[in-house]
Amino acid sequence: MPYLRDEDKDEVNALRVGVAFYMPQDRSLGRLTYAIYRLAHNYLGPSAGFADYAEVLGCLEAAKLELYRRKVAPYEDTKITTNGDVL
């Protein structure tokens, strides 16, 4: 987990609602990672158990795969067309 300055944490923590629209001005990956962590942490609450954490990790994995599928894979497909396949 990135270690952020208190004022940066306060900015992210204030976004309890609408964190999906969080756009840090400096595009800091640390702030993005912290925002995702806080969202998951707040979602789980204090009584979360191992299975709850496993489910949230599954959701994060699904979000990662969706981002790859929608944004990265089409770019790679154009590069295959341009440069040829790796095989």
pLDDT digits (tens, 9 = 90+) for 25-37: 777 888 888 888 8
pTM listed for this prediction: 0.68
* Domain range annotation of the chain: 1-44, 50-87
Q: Residue 79 is encoded by which pair of tokens?
A: 């590069």
| Residue 57 to residue 14: CA distance in whole angstroms | 23
pLDDT in tens, 34-64: 888 888 998 899 999 999 999 999 999 998 9
DSSP code for 21: G
- Per-residue pLDDT band at 70 (split at 50, 70, 90): very high
